[in-house]
Amino acid sequence: MKHNVGSFDAAIRTVGGILFILIVHHHFRSWWALLGFVPVLTAMLAFCPAYCLFHFNTCAQDADHTDHSHHGTHSSV
């Protein structure tokens, strides 16, 4: 399974899913609160099936912000 959920996306999914669980459980005392585990699980796995269907990938955002200075690309002069 190739990762398609970046770290910022995963953080938003985790916070949103937990808030959904807490709010729905507190106000409605319903099993619908369990749906909040879907975004939390996709964040933990770093894979979203819906992103796969629509060819989305938020991992590329992480690659733009990484430090490439420690990848053995030093040349000897």
pLDDT beyond 90 at 70: no
AA letter at 57: N
pTM of the model: 0.75
Mean pLDDT of the chain: 86
pLDDT beyond 80 at 61: no
Q: Which of 19, 2, 1, 7 is nearest to 43 (CA)?
A: 7
The domains of the chain are located at: 7-63
Query: Binning pLDDT at 50, 70 and 90, where does residue 1 land?
Result: confident
- Please report the beta strands in 1-77, taking only residues with DSSP state E, as ranges in sequence order: none
Which pLDDT score is estimated for 39? Answer: 98
Q: What is the pLDDT of residues 2-39, one digit of tens each?
A: 999 999 999 999 999 999 999 999 999 999 999 999 99
CB 58 within 8 A of CB 5: yes
